[in-house]
Amino acid sequence: MNDPVRKLTALEWEKRKLFLSEGFSSSCRSLRGFIPGGVEYLFTPWEYSCRGDLLLRRLRFDSSPEALRLWAFLFSEKDRLFLAKNSGAKVIALMKDLGQTAVLAYAFPGQLSFYADELWWAPCFAESTHLLDAASDLGATEELCYVRAVLGAMKTLDYFPRPDLCVAGVGACCDDFSAVMQLVEGLGMPVHWWEMTAPVPGGCETPYGGVPFAAKDLAFLRGQLAGVVTALEETIGVRCTGEMLAKSVSMFNRLRTMVRNLRELVYGADYPPLPGLEMYLAEFIAIHTCSEPDECFPVLAGLTRVAEERHMLGLSPFKGGEPPLRIYWVYPPTDASLIPLLEDMGGCVAGTDYFINHAFLPLREDTDPLTAVAENCFDDRLLCSPGMRADAIVRDIRHFRAEGVLLSGIFGASHCPWDDRIISEKVREELGLPVLSFDVPYSPGRVSEQVRSRIEAFMDIVRQRRERKR
């Protein structure tokens, strides 16, 4: 398995899997805490495409076994949730916050928690509108963004079993998802609501994100999080202690450190040792362990080991010419095929803001866990003002030495039109970099020709700017 570093199609991985060692394949197991011996999940992208995720047939994947393990780990989450439910575990659907209530939920044994929000990418991977159609039938029509797919999934229950509890953040929250969550409750789902508070300057500052806030707002938010813990206790039937919460904070700190270090290693390199798609998946593990805390650590450790070895040996999927053009990517692309498209045009992802950068920051372990989680809530860039988010993005761009900025807006999302302009103007004024901003249309089976031509023109501008600087 020491072939040159390259990218494989789904069918090529199907053939390559035959040469993986039996020990490696059998080590890829999840649900060890619920099913004796665990459940093997190492299927290829082709096998998962046969189950319905057709986009996988159009993508290309890193050739390392550790990358295959990553893809299989994410796409087997659906299986884990159903199997855990059938084994007597509670299934908790977390909605709207991204990375904070998961810290509280995983303090409890006997449950798996997942972020229902992540279903926004399901219609693209499935290349099917069936979740969106189901949501439309329930009142969540095209004026809402793709996050309405969550409502369709709650109705069809073909992506996860009926949750034992939905934990829903409101207040400083996406308007689209606020409407969707109310419709979810209308289906008869058990929902615990808690209020998310936007940070307002008031003499205090978060220890790692540097976001100003008022002490009274922290106290209020801490009380809301205590209510989440109580709701989880009542649902799971276990009383939560401070020690249990502290242990979960420590676990998530280890997870966040691994993802943060991986981002630095990959995005900081002139020739990134891993492609952007694998990093796209790896970043999202930080928010909730992909519903499997025990297995997420070896998955990330394997990826990190590959990145370190390639970096040391000077290997990269981007080798073969001059260093790729460094692009900072804002917003998670609803069409994942745009990332390899950028790479085919001579670029690489050099830093991201996929809405979850707060989930890479440490959680304080020198204070009580609820305070630590509440402070991390204030670090959420979507809760801050667009100006503060733009400032943070500019700092990231400088750090990763990006040469251009791409904003792939989410079609129909209420926040994108406002953020786009502010971020774009800030980048141009302070850094003088080319910026491309566009909404990603739903185009199953192919990349939108308009999007393709716009990215191509943008990359030409970035390339010419590099040449002029020489």
Task: Tell me which residue range forms the domain holding 352.
Answer: 245-469
pLDDT tens-digit series, residues 398-436: 999 999 999 998 766 666 567 889 999 999 999 999 999
Residue type at 377?
C
**435 plus 445 within the same structural domain:** yes
pLDDT tens-digit series, residues 338-366: 999 999 999 999 999 999 999 999 999 99
Residue 167 lies in a domain: yes
Please give the pLDDT value at position 455. Answer: 98
Last residue of a domain, one of 221, 243, 265: 243
pLDDT tens-digit series, residues 300-323: 999 999 999 999 999 999 988 899
pLDDT tens-digit series, residues 444-470: 999 999 999 999 999 999 999 999 988
**449 plus 359 within the same structural domain:** yes
The average pLDDT across 176-181 equals: 89
Maximum Cα–Cα distance for the chain, whole Å? 65
Residue 73 lies in a domain: no
- pLDDT bracket for residue 172 (50, 70, 90): confident
Cα 406 from Cα 349, distance rounded (Å):
10
Position 1 pLDDT exceeds 60: no
Residue 385 lies in a domain: yes
Which residues have CB under 8 Å from 210's CB, separation 6+?
A: none
- pLDDT bracket for residue 177 (50, 70, 90): confident
**123 plus 176 within the same structural domain:** yes
Position 142 pLDDT exceeds 80: yes
pLDDT cut 90: percent of the chain above it? 88
pLDDT cut 70: percent of the chain above it? 98
Please give the pLDDT value at position 294. Answer: 95
**338 plus 390 within the same structural domain:** yes
Last residue of a domain, one of 225, 243, 261: 243
- Residue 191's DSSP bridge partners are 166
pTM of the model: 0.96
**230 plus 288 within the same structural domain:** no
Q: Which string of DSSP letters, residue by residue, matches 334-352?
A: SSTTHHHHHHHTTEEEEEE
The average pLDDT across 263-277 equals: 98
The residue with tokens 């080319």 is 434
**First-last CA distance in the chain:** 39
Please give the pLDDT value at position 41. Answer: 97
| Total tally of structural domains belonging to the chain | 2
Compare 88 and 419 and report the one with higher pLDDT: 88
* Helix axis angle, 130-137 to 149-156, nearest 10°: 90
Please give the pLDDT value at position 470. Answer: 85
CATH number of the domain at 197, please: 3.40.50
